A and B are shown apart, each in its own frame.
Chain A
Amino acid sequence: MFGRLVKESFVRNPRRKLLTAAALVVGMAVATSTLTIALEVGDRLAREFRSLGANLLVTPQSDTLPVEIGGVDYRPVDEGAYLSEADLGKLKTIFWRHNVLGFTPFLDVPISIQQSENAAPARTMLIGTWNAREVPVPDGTTFKTGVSITHPWWKIRGRWFRDGANECVIGAALAKMMPGIIPGKVIYVSNETAGNSVQDRSTPKAMPLEVVGIVSTDDAEDKAVLAPLEIAQKLSGHPGMFRQLFVSALTKPADAFSERDPLKMTPTEYDRWFCSPYISSIAFQIKTILPGTEVRTIRRVADTEGNILSRVSTLLWIVTLTALIAAALAVAATSATTVLERRGEVGVMKALGATNTLVAGIFLAEQLLLAIAGASMGFVLGAVLARSLGSSIFGMPASPRLILFPVVLGLAAIVAFTGSLIPLRRAARFSPAPILRGE
């Protein structure tokens, strides 16, 4: 009988329920879309921040002091320590391998350039690196990486060199200083620090390299020649080696916890730290897998990313909270108003002998039905909204989080209930007669 009463009550006079239903749909749509965005935005933005380039730098642990200006190491090739290129595939085997988006090794060699075999030499640097390298990973796959990932702001006119080829690109400043060097031309490079060491005899006197492009980096590299890592290795007499490695990793903003010394953590804390993609944790894992290295956080990039991400995240959650409260108020207000409007029905029911509990029960059951209907439609609408927002902002639609559905449903029910409760309590005190008389 109760079910029948509810059904009858629900079906009658749909106009009055429309307002509550509308408030529910709109309210839950906004709740769904804001919650979806708040949950997704951290990951999306973190990915966008990788346009700032590498956030980790790997160098040999025991090394001499680098002679670095603006990222180019001017040390003679005989000095200092090197790292092995062959080990680099292991980077994609660490716990957070999927967060390692790219890595690029560098080897800087002081050279002389000649525009033709007998022309006057000019002194500059040759930077050996990877453009787009398929790195073999121990599990059998390959991973494509290179400067386009760790130094995305480098712009090339012409094209990049092919890995392993006798090609190079020259920096924009160098191109201005030596106007004769244009893409298509061949230049001759030789190791500047020609000495009497054994390695010298195996290196060619002057290596021809075809210039295939001009790169603009806005930094010290603009005055140098960039070539495949193999060329630098050959020129320096250190095959299979490199000096420093830039790594671009997807990280979670650092907080007080992540900055602690892992050696001083309890086993549970250690696990939590290890299993979170903090930059300190990823750095630690890299250091473990590449022995003899020192892994440092590039603070400019990591700190900025961390600060902004955590601020935007907080902001979004606050805004979402505001949205949820606003939605809740809206639904409660309209619930309250419609219950008040239906005083007449309450009067009739009570005159017929319905107890307060029964009247309340029927109304609340109705509100529940409305909540389910409204929340479902609102959820779909909200998911669509979040999707289109995600597309327009991040170029990737935000996938609807189904876990939100019960949350949104629960929210709708609670709010519709609470909104009706207050007027229902007042309605309980109504005596039927005045209502039936029409007062």
Chain B
Amino acid sequence: MFWRLLWKLLRGSGGRLAVAILALASCAMVVSALLNLEFDIERKLTQEFRTLGANLLISPRNAQITGSSPAEVMSESEVSAAIQSVKDPNVIAVAPFLYVVGSTQNTPVVVAGTDLEELPKLEPAWRIEGQWKLSPAQQTMCLVGRKVAQQLKLAVGSSLNLTYLKQNVQLKVAGIIDGGGAEDSQVFVELPEAQDLASIPGQISFAQLSVSGTTAGISHYAARLASALPAYDVKPIRQITEAEGDLLSRIRLLIVSMIVLISVLTALCVLGTMAALAMERRQDVGLMKALGGSIGRIVTLFMAEVGVLGAAGGFIGAILGVELSRWMGQRVFGQAISSRWEIFPLTIILMVAIALAGALPLRLLGKVKPAIIFREQ
């Protein structure tokens, strides 16, 4: 009989229950979408911060002061071996650098030997003009800064002849960099070319990495890398990581506050709707009491009804919430937000809890005499 009653209850008041499920589902949808957002926002934002460029530096420990020749160097193979050994999915780009102050057309120019394929990944903010695509055969490609191109009247496709002491290398301009900083006055070549030019094979000035993640995560990775490279310095680049950490925590706080605000509101509105529903049931409760039903049994029945509503609303809402968060992700980040499966059961439980809380007034009816309930008619 209990299940029959429950079923009839749920089927019964058509319109009002539809409103209740609607309210529960909307609340569930909003809450689950926002929860999805909250879980993913950090990942998305830290990715955005990578536009700042390299945030980790590996450099020689005992630097010497000198003029233009690259006196402080590290072993390229040691560094890349260490980086290989400490694999981490958060590492977005790794690039070695070797600086040589060479000359071309009788003008001194800073030559940076690096991995030209990794360079744009390391510094995504740099605009690189020129439809250039690197292929292994074309070792003699180079990228030049805007000011270099301007001064030396170079364009994409021009030839460039670099000299250092007695060494000489012929290169072709594959692209022009506009970054707004020192890079605008530099020439970027493949590392082996720079090493040849300076006659120091296998050496680099330093290495830079772009690592995604929180300040703590980046420090942790840096520590691991440092223990694999005891001879060198491995440090987060403070300008970037400090500012990023601070900004990130402020933004997260902002979003979390908004989410809590809205969740509380929607929960309150559901509470209100449930309370109204409970009030509707007063008559039924009064009658059942008059018929000799114990308040425990009666309340269990109505709580079960409310619980089922909560679960149904929660389920529907959670599904809709996934869609909503997907749309939100698309609008804001241009990519979908990855949803966590845990949000599903969490939302349903939350909705059941809220629904039951809202129906609490029913319990109070336990004290009320049936006669009074009937009198209110």
In A235-280, which residues have CB < 8 Å from any B CB? Answer: none
In A367-394, which residues have CB < 8 Å from any B CB? Answer: 385, 389, 392-394
- Residues from chain B with a CB closer than 8 A to the CB of A392 are 253
Point out the residue from B30, B64, B185, B262 that lies within 8 Å of A34, measured CB to CB: B262
Point out the residue from A30, A304, A340 that lies within 8 Å of B48, measured CB to CB: A304
With A66-B147, A314-B331, A330-B266 given, is the CB distance from A308 to B239 under 8 Å? no
B328 in the interface (beta carbon within 8 A): yes
Establish whether residues B110 and A304, one from each chain, have CB atoms under 8 Å apart when the complex forms: no
Q: Which of B50-58, B157-165, B300-308, B364-372 contacts A (4 or more CB under 8 A)?
A: B50-58
A438 in the interface (beta carbon within 8 A): yes
Establish whether residues B243 and A52, one from each chain, have CB atoms under 8 Å apart when the complex forms: yes
- Residues from chain B with a CB closer than 8 A to the CB of A216 are 238
Establish whether residues A218 and B332, one from each chain, have CB atoms under 8 Å apart when the complex forms: no
A19 in the interface (beta carbon within 8 A): yes
- Residues from chain A with a CB closer than 8 A to the CB of B48 are 304, 307-308, 311
In A56-80, which residues have CB < 8 Å from any B CB? Answer: 56-57, 64-71, 74-75
Q: CA–CA, A329 to B259, complex, Å?
A: 17
Establish whether residues A334 and B328, one from each chain, have CB atoms under 8 Å apart when the complex forms: no
- Residues from chain A with a CB closer than 8 A to the CB of B264 are 30
- Residues from chain A with a CB closer than 8 A to the CB of B125 are 299-300, 302-304
Map CB proximity to B onto A298-337 as digits: 1 under 8 Å, 0 otherwise: 1111111001100110111011101100110111011011
B49 in the interface (beta carbon within 8 A): yes
Establish whether residues A318 and B250, one from each chain, have CB atoms under 8 Å apart when the complex forms: no
* CB of A218, distance to nearest CB on chain B (Å): 5
Establish whether residues A122 and B239, one from each chain, have CB atoms under 8 Å apart when the complex forms: no
* CB of B240, distance to nearest CB on chain A (Å): 8
Q: Which residue of B lies closest to A316 (CB)?
A: B258
- Residues from chain A with a CB closer than 8 A to the CB of B66 are 123
- Residues from chain A with a CB closer than 8 A to the CB of B107 are 64-65
Q: How large is the interface on B (under 10, 10 to 19, 20 to 34, 35 or more residues)?
A: 35 or more
* CB of B36, distance to nearest CB on chain A (Å): 12
Q: Which of A43-51, A82-90, A135-143, A204-212 contacts B (4 or more CB under 8 A)?
A: A43-51
A22 in the interface (beta carbon within 8 A): yes
Q: Which residue of A lies closest to B259 (CB)?
A: A319
Establish whether residues B268 and A319, one from each chain, have CB atoms under 8 Å apart when the complex forms: no
- Residues from chain B with a CB closer than 8 A to the CB of A298 are 179-181
* CB of B152, distance to nearest CB on chain A (Å): 8
Which residue among A51, A153, A298, A322 has the maximum number of chain B CB atoms within 10 Å of its CB?
A322
In A339-379, which residues have CB < 8 Å from any B CB? Answer: 340-341
Q: Which of B189-197, B271-279, B338-346 contacts A (4 or more CB under 8 A)?
A: B271-279
Map CB proximity to B onto A31-55 as digits: 1 under 8 Å, 0 otherwise: 0011001000100010011011100
In B39-80, which residues have CB < 8 Å from any A CB? Answer: 41, 45, 48-49, 51-53, 57, 62-68
Point out the residue from A64, A110, A334 that lies within 8 Å of B276, measured CB to CB: A334
Number of A residues with CB within 8 Å of any CB on chain B: 81
Q: CA–CA, A315 to B325, complex, Å?
A: 11
- Residues from chain A with a CB closer than 8 A to the CB of B294 are none
Which residue among B26, B49, B99, B247 has the maximum number of chain A CB atoms within 10 Å of its CB?
B247
* CB of B370, distance to nearest CB on chain A (Å): 16
Establish whether residues B265 and A68, one from each chain, have CB atoms under 8 Å apart when the complex forms: no
Q: CA–CA, A316 to B180, complex, Å?
A: 31
A124 in the interface (beta carbon within 8 A): yes
Q: CA–CA, A330 to B258, complex, Å?
A: 17
Establish whether residues A326 and B276, one from each chain, have CB atoms under 8 Å apart when the complex forms: no
Establish whether residues A52 and B52, one from each chain, have CB atoms under 8 Å apart when the complex forms: yes
Interface of A is mostly: helix
Establish whether residues B108 and A300, one from each chain, have CB atoms under 8 Å apart when the complex forms: no
Q: Which residue of A lies closest to B257 (CB)?
A: A389
Point out the residue from B108, B179, B243, B279 that lies within 8 Å of A299, measured CB to CB: B179
A173 in the interface (beta carbon within 8 A): yes
A286 in the interface (beta carbon within 8 A): no
Q: CA–CA, A69 to B110, complex, Å?
A: 7
A92 in the interface (beta carbon within 8 A): no
B151 in the interface (beta carbon within 8 A): yes
Q: CA–CA, A377 to B30, complex, Å?
A: 25
- Residues from chain A with a CB closer than 8 A to the CB of B115 are none
Establish whether residues B269 and A301, one from each chain, have CB atoms under 8 Å apart when the complex forms: no
Which residue among B152, B179, B276 has the maximum number of chain A CB atoms within 10 Å of its CB?
B276
In A2-40, which residues have CB < 8 Å from any B CB? Answer: 19, 22-23, 26-27, 30, 33-34, 37
Establish whether residues A30 and B265, one from each chain, have CB atoms under 8 Å apart when the complex forms: yes
Establish whether residues A296 and B63, one from each chain, have CB atoms under 8 Å apart when the complex forms: no
Q: CA–CA, A123 to B148, complex, Å?
A: 27
B242 in the interface (beta carbon within 8 A): yes
Map CB proximity to B onto A113-127 as digits: 1 under 8 Å, 0 otherwise: 000000000111000
Name 9 interchain pairs, CB-CB below 8 A, sorted by A: A23-B268, A65-B109, A153-B242, A218-B237, A219-B239, A307-B48, A318-B331, A393-B253, A393-B254
- By a beta-carbon cutoff of 8 Å, the part of chain B in contact with chain A is 16, 19, 23, 26-27, 30, 33-34, 37, 41, 45, 48-49, 51-53, 57, 62-68, 99, 101, 107-110, 123, 125-127, 147-148, 151-152, 178-182, 184-186, 235, 237-239, 242-243, 246-247, 250-251, 253-255, 257-259, 261-262, 264-266, 268-269, 272-273, 275-276, 279, 328, 331-333, 377
- By a beta-carbon cutoff of 8 Å, the part of chain A in contact with chain B is 19, 22-23, 26-27, 30, 33-34, 37, 41, 45, 48-49, 51-53, 56-57, 64-71, 74-75, 110, 122-124, 153, 155, 173-174, 177-178, 216, 218-219, 223, 296-304, 307-308, 311-312, 314-316, 318-320, 322-323, 326-327, 329-331, 333-334, 336-338, 340-341, 385, 389, 392-394, 438
Which 6 pairs from chain A and chain B are nearest by CB?
A330-B269, A298-B180, A337-B276, A68-B182, A299-B125, A304-B51
